[in-house]
Structure 1
């Protein structure tokens, strides 16, 4: 459980050499940069932003082609910036053309009932204008009340289309509908524009397809674009004044010799400082490779504060246990294991994939073992007397035993959180509060077991531990110094207020009952699908076998999917909500190394 120790470093050099300095730091890849000045919208002394984000958009666009062209592999014929510009330009023009086509189609649909016409000028018509109304058929009788000339030009099963002639727009109360705006563009002109737009769309689609020949080279050079963007961002954050530039950042203590050698080589001034208690350095986690998948689980929700501790290893194994108890079936674990084997080599290509492989192996091994212990194989119980039946040590339908097991796991999990905090805050009395909660958890569980098993001595000892733990919490919860009777009274009030967390602790422990409940639900649903398939096969001889197979396949697929979702969500939730609430007091942010992504030859 390691959070690497960091140092704050400051490098000083000539402003004219800042690009060389930043390029070297990027190649080293050990520094988390601290911006020394905010980004400015327009700064003549800064380089403009590199197109990393635009390159990703361009790649996604040219990859979205049904029939891709033959890929170009010759880097000499490839212009990265030009391909990005052409791809994004094609995307923009294509969207504009599609919008124009949709607009023209809508206008043609609206104008078709009125016919193909061109409005005459007011001088030709003697100052009279044409006013268009789309009148419902049941309102057609209102036309007889008009004292203006009008003409019906079209009628369908819902509306009549009427043109009224007048110098001024008729009063809004003469007809029950607002007038229709037909525009000055005729129907034939709209059709001509639509034809031109469709031709332009064909050309743009052809250009889109042609650009797909650059997918390979563009994807290979994306890292280069990201490195350029990172350099620009770093350049925007350094301090420049009087020909001198300052670069500041966080670096792991073990990387200091490398950074010192770099500063000596370039003739830079280097200062190092230990982080102050009030500072918030980034968090750089490092765990041994077998359990470093726990870092990914922890980072999924939050990053521990630099001054806290690393819960990765505990989360690694507790997540595996929680997932296993929720899945609760050895057969499902085997299916997931086969899927993992199918993608084993593909996951080897990245560090994240390798960490996920190890985590998956541990999770599925725990799931298989727990499935054997509860005797569930796709919802089927083993036959009595067989080896697998003798391996069944837990009974999911024994509610009392499974509830005790879930509560015991919850108490142990929260006890570990408080004990780690107590070790970090030692010596006594600084760690009295987590010690008090640890005693309260232990005593409360002992009292629970004593009452359920009718063991009087265990229950009595549990109540004593619980009382002692709560007494420690009450006495040492406050940070007030006792100088007189008022401060002593206020300290006591603070302690009594802290006891309100007893209800929170009780609720958090009971949250672990979801392990039993979800596991029972998964097993019950699997058994239900099995019974339904048997009933269908029995009721329908012949075709019933096919339906039964279909029910089994679909039913267990749904149940397995629900088990995976529940195991992932609730397995993480018990760590992030219940465990972190008692073991972590503050959140941090991850260490982001200023490093090159492009692999240099």
Structure 2
């Protein structure tokens, strides 16, 4: 029930023997390879990419499935995986294209039906499309008069720029769009057209000077036109070699195709998607055989990946791995027999080995709860047993009813054998979400691992419910056996709040003591011991102030608390220089408010327990009132209220117990007792036949 000590092992040998070593270590299955190459294929946490599982998930999520084939004579798992992954990439690409085409077609539709011609045919002019709100039309720059004069007698929504005789406009090869119609002589020249019409007989230079004197601060007019309108927007097309900067809105992104081309390409993409989905449906007939081949495919992928994680320098190679200390002697003997150079050493303090946690069958569920939130660092400690017990206690205090606990016990009894039943491999075919993503194979199922915890929760909840004297919100008679066990009045706020604070303080003290134990040098753990003393002393002083009979604890509690805070000041930054050590210690005292808040956070145990008991009592009173006020149908309605009310209260109690029971462990407790997070030990092992 602890973190397994590891050593860093190194193998060296001839490159010709590398394949044999990897095969043997793969079968050995008790080490994690350390990548020695600069760009390892595997991910940062040591897990091989699960391409086979991704392929199976893709096939299982198909909208349609074929009947399963059981004869494996014509089945090639590697080919099915390769083709499924190819189809997945194709489907992703085609779907993205379809979405883009739909968006561009919707953007181009209000501008009418048009096509593009090569840019060089349009005198290097481009079209720029804008969707302008009506209220911003006044902010548009002045339009070029010749463009307006060139407008024929069509309606306002028809634009000569977009509807020339050929129906084509120029394409913008740089992301914009080309000029107007195929008749270039109808386009406005780059110079200001009004001046060209008003130009007298003088030379071109004189006209330019006249223009500069007439409009010294105005930009040249743009050639633009409104091609259509709706209730909110005007759809404007601008003719310009470059994207105009003076437009009040950003341009619409239509792309290099006109509406007809977009529609045609969209049909092609949708047909291609149908073809991909059809082949995907065809491949689903192999799902059963493919699921049974997952471990073999993953073993092959892991073995191939391991070959890229060694250091190779012909004719030699080197391999390093984290190995449990208990296997070092076995690997030493193997290396001597096979002619490999082998050495092993303990990890250095600056190294971060993976964490291999090993617990007994009874507390394995505690390990799962810990890993649900974080993996303890290698240099920390294993809190699985503490979380296993404390979670059951917190759940019981929140449920706070022996009747509800009895119902949970009855449900556990009915499900006991089913929870202990091993699962079959064919359950992978239920849905894609049921596939385990590359975790090491477990010797016990999840149900088998959690049965002891569920049993402990039921027993502790039953015991605590008897102590509070609540059975579906009904208190037993005082002279009965159950009445004699009723020693805690849940309606006594002062008592129950004191118990909650006591539980919280004990939890925080235990966290600090366990954190102090992990240090090789006992002086490094004195700061945590100081916090434990400060919390314990503060609790004693608070008890002396609240309970007159414990007044004698006031002075000892104060002394213990002050002594603990002195340890915090002196040993929080023990390895710093004297000034830094003092400053670090004083900075550590800022956690006093955090400790106070964390302990008060355990008051939720009392609050939620009181809420559960109050709801149970309220539903009972409601049922009694209905029964007495309705003589005929009152009994039936009262039973419905009782069943619905207590079922709802039980559901709320269970959910609150799980959520807040976990929260107090992984937030408050880990905040004081588990400072460093690590990563799980991922062994290089064969899954097939493990």
Q: Please name the residue that 2:4 is paired with.
A: 4
Distance 1:372 1:212, change over 3 A: farther
Separation of aligned partners in 1, 2:99 and 2:277: 16
What is the CA distance between 1:63 and its match in structure 2?
0.5
Equivalent runs, 1:412-561 vs 2, <5 Å: 412-421=506-515, 433-455=527-549, 458-471=550-563, 473-474=565-566, 477-478=569-570, 498-528=588-618, 559-561=649-651
Which one is further off, 64-73 or 192-201?
Answer: 192-201
Q: 1:571 aligns with which of 661, 666, 688?
A: 661
Shift in Å, 1:282: 2.6
Q: Give the match for residue 500 of structure 2.
A: 406
User: Which residue does the alignment assign to 1:596?
Assistant: 686
Residue 306 (structure 1) aligned with residue 308 (structure 2): no
Tell me if the contact between 2:568 and 2:588 (Cα under 8 Å) persists in the aligned partners.
no
The alpha-carbon deviation at position 24 of structure 1 amounts to 0.9
Instruction: Quote the residue 1:325 is aligned against.
Output: 397
* Residues 193/277 of structure 1: CA separation in 2 closer, same or farther (3 Å cut): closer
TM-score (structure 2 length as normaliser): 0.70
1:344-401 alpha-carbon deviations (Å, 9 max, x no partner)? 5356435251222222222233233323333444555557666555543322221111
Q: 1:86 to 1:352 in 2, by over 3 A?
A: same
Is residue 392 from structure 1 mapped to residue 486 from structure 2 by the alignment? yes
Change beyond 3 A, Cα 1:168–1:333: farther
Structure 2 counterparts to residues 196-211 of structure 1, below 5 A: 199-211=271-283
Return the offset for 1:469. 4.2
Give SS of 1:71's match: coil
Structure 1 residues 342, 70: closer, same or farther in 2, change over 3 A?
farther
Contact 1:435 1:469 survives alignment (8 Å):
no
Separation of aligned partners in 2, 1:104 and 1:11: 56
Deviates more, 1:199-208 or 1:443-452: 199-208
Q: What does residue 70 of structure 2 align with?
A: 73
Where do 5+ consecutive residues of structure 2 fail to align? Answer: 138-142, 162-179, 181-185, 189-220, 227-233, 238-251, 423-441
Secondary structure of 2:7's partner?
Answer: strand
Give distance in 1, aligned partners of 2:403 and 2:63. Answer: 39
The aligned length equals 581
| Residue of 338, 346, 358 corresponding to 1:266 | 338
Bigger mean CA deviation after superposition, 261-270 or 558-567: 558-567
Scaled by the length of structure 1, what TM-score is found?
0.79
Residues 1:77 and 1:379: Cα distance change in structure 2 (over 3 Å): farther
- Counterparts of 1:239-278 in structure 2, within 5 Å, are 239-278=311-350
- Tell which deviates more after alignment, 82-91 or 22-31: 82-91
1:219 is aligned, of 291, 294, 302, to: 291
Superposition deviation, residue 37 in structure 1: 3.0
Pick aligned residue for 2:357 from 285, 288, 296: 285
Once structures 1 and 2 are overlaid, which stretch shifts more, 300-309 or 380-389?
A: 380-389
The 1:498/1:187 distance shift into structure 2, 3 A limit, reads: closer
Shift of 1:285: 1.8
SS at match of 2:73: helix
Q: CA deviation at 1:80?
A: 1.7
Q: Using the TM superposition, give the Cα deviation of residue 117 of structure 1 relative to its aligned residue in structure 2, in angstroms.
A: 8.2
Report the equivalent of 1:168: 187
Matched with 2:21 is: 21
Q: Distance in 1 between matches of 2:264 and 2:669?
A: 68
Which SS does the other structure have where 1:370 is aligned?
Answer: helix
- 224-233 or 241-250: which moved more? 224-233
Cα distance, 1:69 vs structure 2: 1.8
Shift of 1:317: 0.3
SS state of the match for residue 689, structure 2? coil
- The 1-side partners of 2:129 and 2:672 are apart by 73
Q: Do the aligned partners of residues 164 and 413 (structure 1) sit closer, same or farther apart at CA in structure 2, a change above 3 Å counting?
A: same
**Partner SS, residue 157 of structure 2:** strand
Q: Which has the larger radius of gyration?
A: 2
Which residue does 2:211 correspond to in 1?
A: none
- Residue 459 (structure 2) pairs with residue 365 (structure 1): yes
Shift of 1:90: 2.9
Indicate whether 1:30 and 2:124 are aligned: no
Match status 1:345 vs 2:418: yes
1-side partners of 2:2 and 2:128: how far apart? 80
Instruction: Point out the more displaced range, 68-77 or 211-220.
Output: 68-77
Query: Which has the larger displacement, 284-293 or 496-505?
Result: 496-505
Gaps of 5+ in 1: 43-48, 154-159
Which residue of 1 is the match for residue 52 of structure 2?
Answer: 55
Q: Deviations over 1:516-536 (max 9, x none)?
A: 122223333455556667777
Q: Is the partner of 2:158 in helix, strand or coil?
A: strand
**1:442 Cα deviation (Å)?**
3.2
Taking a change above 3 Å as real, the CA distance of residues 191 and 376 of structure 1, as seen in their structure-2 partners, is: same
Q: CA deviation at 1:402?
A: 0.5
| Aligned match of 1:374 | 468
How many angstroms does 1:497 deviate by?
5.6
Report the Cα offset of residue 149 of structure 1.
Answer: 2.8
Cα separation, partners in 2 of 1:537 and 1:245, compared to 1, 3 Å: farther
